[in-house]
Amino acid sequence: MDFPATLLHGARGTGLWESLLEAASGLLCEAPGRVLAPWQSRACGTCAGCHLVRAGTHPDLRVVLPAALAAELGWGAEEGAEAGQGEAKGAAAGREIGIEQVRGLIDWAQGTSHRGGPKVALVHPLDAMAAPAANALLKVLEEPPASLCFLTGTHQLDRVLPTLRSRCSLRAWKRPGAEAALAELQRRGQADAEAVLHWSRRAVFEADPARGLDWTRRLVRQLAEGRVTQLDGVTPAQALESLQKLTLDLVRVRSGLAPSYLAELDAPLRRLAGRGDTGAWLQWWQRLAQAARTPDFPVHAGLAVQAWVVELQQLCTSGTN
Ligand SMILES: [Zn+2]
């Protein structure tokens, strides 16, 4: 059995991880008649292989995630997952896949299959790796052991090292459609599902697709009333993300388009967006975008949120009359 390594790429929160796990499950399912190619057959959910995958104890599945992501996904306490706890305290603070994790994967990959089927290495995200780890991984990709299927994903394809990328066949992952996204939100018991669908742009597989929505609603209400008072309940990073979404909608509305994140607030957005001149709005948008690009931004954010809100308020009130 020979499997080309597959690199699945798509936006955050759109179900990339879930799809990778589904592909792994399909390969490790032991029901008769399955096709041994990723994403070509669905796991039956009832055989011994499927049970082991679900329990996180399948000996032929190796999951390699940054420690922070493993914790978020609830993956890693069990055997079969390698979350690199020892390295998690390092500079990358658990957001990277460490070289020890890759070494562990390489050792595991050399062994023969326990259950006679393929072995599946699931590494995600492929861009979350410093050069030493990436180089170690590259050696496995250059000469993959027989019957090893390498599945990996990224939300930032341009950040994957070209050497790694060139070893993988690329597969684009699309956002879920509105129906599938709504179904996922309902499965999770998400309140206000329709609004969250818009707010997250259907990236409903995130840990909290509604984050920032209530904060933004309060902000819009207070801006409309002309007095911003207390606005807590979000981290600086969430505030920044929310302000970007709100600003995009305000700019859309100025251009005569419907808001895309806050469809429910069409009328108040129209009243707010009519104010301020276009150049000032663009400058504001660029400043937010620049802050979002700054690494470690949340660490230094401090009082930034309050200052931004004041600035947005000025923008929304300038030019009145
Ligand atoms: Zn099965």
For the stretch 142-199, pLDDT in tens is: 888 888 999 999 999 999 998 899 999 999 998 889 999 999 999 999 999 999 999 9
Average pLDDT over residues 264-277: 87
More confident residue, 295 or 21: 21
Q: What percent of the chain has pLDDT over 90?
A: 53
Domain range summary for the chain, segments of one domain joined by + = 5-174, 211-317
Average pLDDT over residues 33-59: 90
Please tell me the distance between residue 121's alpha carbon and the centre of ligand 1 in angstroms.
Answer: 18
- Give the Cβ contact number of residue 154 at 10 Å: 24
Find where tokens 């401090």 sit: 302
pTM: 0.74
Please tell me the distance between residue 21's alpha carbon and the centre of ligand 1 in angstroms.
Answer: 13
Please tell me the distance between residue 183's alpha carbon and the centre of ligand 1 in angstroms.
Answer: 24
Buried b (16+ CB within 10 A) or exposed e, 195-219: bbbbbbbbbbbeeebbbbbebbbbb
Q: What is the pLDDT of residues 271-300, one digit of tens each?
A: 888 777 888 888 898 888 888 877 666 555
Between CA 10 and CA 70 the distance in angstroms is 19
Average pLDDT over residues 214-232: 88
Q: Can you say whether residue 80 is alpha, beta or left, with left for phi > 0 and alpha for psi between -120 and 50 degrees?
A: left
Per-residue model confidence (pLDDT) at position 78:
43
Please tell me the distance between residue 80's alpha carbon and the centre of ligand 1 in angstroms.
Answer: 18
Please tell me the distance between residue 50's alpha carbon and the centre of ligand 1 in angstroms.
Answer: 4
What is the distance between the terminal CA atoms of the chain, rounded to a whole angstrom? 73
Q: What is the pLDDT of residues 87-129, one digit of tens each?
A: 444 536 688 999 999 999 999 999 899 999 999 999 999 999 9
Find where tokens 């956002």 sit: 175
Per-residue model confidence (pLDDT) at position 64:
95
Please tell me the distance between residue 170's alpha carbon and the centre of ligand 1 in angstroms.
Answer: 26
Confidence of residue 321 (pLDDT cuts 50, 70, 90): very low
Confidence of residue 80 (pLDDT cuts 50, 70, 90): very low
Please tell me the distance between residue 32's alpha carbon and the centre of ligand 1 in angstroms.
Answer: 9
Per-residue model confidence (pLDDT) at position 303:
67
Q: What's the mean pLDDT when you consider all of the chain?
A: 87
Please tell me the distance between residue 92's alpha carbon and the centre of ligand 1 in angstroms.
Answer: 37
Q: CA 260, 262, 266: angle at the middle one, nearest 5?
A: 95
Please tell me the distance between residue 29's alpha carbon and the centre of ligand 1 in angstroms.
Answer: 4
CATH of 5-174, one of 3.40.50.300, 3.30.830.10, 3.30.360.10, 3.30.1300.10: 3.40.50.300
81-82 β-sheet, strand order: 81-82, 61-64, 119-123, 148-154, 5-9, 168-172
